[in-house]
Structure 1
Amino acid sequence: MLKRSRTVPLPWAAGYGLARTLLALGTLGTLVFSDATTLFREVATVGRYPLCQGVNSAGAFCQVSEDHYDAMRWACCLVLVVAASGWRPRFTAIPHAYVAFSVFTGIAIPDGGDQITWILTLLIVAVALGDPRRWHWQPAPPPDSPPSNRRNRWALLGVSALTVARIQMSVLYFQSCVAKLPHAEWADGSALYYWINNYDFGAPYWLRPTLESVVDHPVGVAAMTWGPLILELALAAALLMPQRARWMLLPAGVSFHLCIAAVMGLWSFALAMCAGLLLLLTPLGHDPDFTRMLRRTPRPSAVPAEKKDPVEAPVMAGTQP
């Protein structure tokens, strides 16, 4: 009997580590720049946050009295700083996910960024628990020789979790695009005129004159309204595209969310979505090798730079006579 095996890329690379850092920084910004009186307050028809009911009662802020919300807030910030640094992802992934859950379920002003952060950090736990590296910035570890069944199982679990995260992001962009289409303002191309001039989420005063000069023109406002719909639809279909097309979509998607952050001030949302874009558009096991970039090791000019392939681990799939 001849053994037949298949390979999967090792998921423990600096690419997914950068996504972890962005997710942690987004939540960290929410906790650092918002005090307890802003985060935990009465919401009309709902009640006073945190709402310690059902599953939500497991959140960190439900474990302390109101007088200690600030102390717990800074304790969560410490967890997020450690997670963002990339140290020992195997040990910091679960605390990071717990803080993301506590913020999403506990604060009175959550947004879509907090929700996607919680979902992605939970999925990343399945990746990080098998990560043997000290820092998630380090290159992917070499495959075991001979292959280790334990590492192969962790690699398969991690790749499966990242695949679910990619599908989640694809569905998110598809739903975001399709949900806008029934509204007349999005269909006729005028929606961004109202968003730019909105007093709560509109453009800041220093940016308003420039954007108003664009949205006051029919072609300008139509381009600003329909452009995001086209981009969201392309991102939703990214998994069906070749990798070269995904690389071209990555800067477009990141720029799109940074523009939203600059106009509407949704920076934690932008960081969460940029992390999701990295998981969606980069190859599984992508390793940009940040340690080499930081060392600035010069490459010989006579040797062309080659794209680094993801490290793969064999996974036994069955036998064949």
Structure 2
Amino acid sequence: MSASAMSNAAQTLDLDDAAARPAERGGNSDASAQEVAPSRARVTALRKLVREPLLHFLVLGGLIFAADSVLHPPASNEKVITVSKALRQSFIDNFDEDKQRTPSSADLQKMIDAWVASEILYREGKALGVDRGDEMIRDRVAFKLQLLIFDQVRVPEPTEAQLRAWFADNHARFDAPERVSFFMTPATDEATARQQLEDIRGQRESEELRDQTRVILGRPVASLAGGYGEGFRDGLLKMPTGDWSLLQSNDGWHVVRLDAREPGTPAKLEDVRDEAAKIWHTDETRRQAWDAVTRLKANYTIRYEP
């Protein structure tokens, strides 16, 4: 007899004994039989159900499904890579611009495969933290988000009042600046520059010095301090036109002659309206984009280490 058959026989024996015990304790045997009969019927039905192959299949299927769910959990959004229609179209457009022809199916699939591989490597690398401490990756991701934010900003045309108020605060960006034109010799030490000044005034400078002397035409006065130093700027503006003098720049000493000086002229909105409207639009876009970043910043706590 098999182990299963022996177990079934033992279960049957236990049930038969249980049915006989009420009669042994005395009492109405008919009533006891009536009470035992439904119990035995339920047990018999349960025994048949346990032997039912369909139940075994359902239980086994449930166990397999549960095990598969543990071993192979459903993909999260981080593991889903979507190749959108817009992305495929961008590949086609870029390919057409470079190759001047429409990509074949094989060409398109090759570009998609390369992009998918790159996306997988990026996500896995980010999950491993390889981007931490890499300023280049950080800056590129930040720049990409910046472009996305700018792309979402929609700025209408300025009203006349808005444009005039903005122009009043920014007219210096359109004013014609004061300019100067001058000659200057190469930078050298003070003693050499003094000797060169004497030679130039006596009209006996060398041909080499003539060739090395530069002419600066229409240089904005506002840029002189940054290029040569404040002392050079102040000295040049005090010089009379046409005279040679010594001036010290950030690089050394020069022999300099102021050749011309043109005063600046203020701009009028009517003359630069189109350009002003474009710059206003750029400034307003930047302002709104920065406001968006500021709103994001409200979600963060900024700590400064001592």
- Normalised to the residue count of structure 1, the TM-score between the two structures is 0.20
User: Greater RCO between the two (CA within 8 Å, min separation 6)?
Assistant: 1
State the TM-score, normalized to the length of structure 2.
0.21
Larger Rg, first or second structure (1 or 2):
2
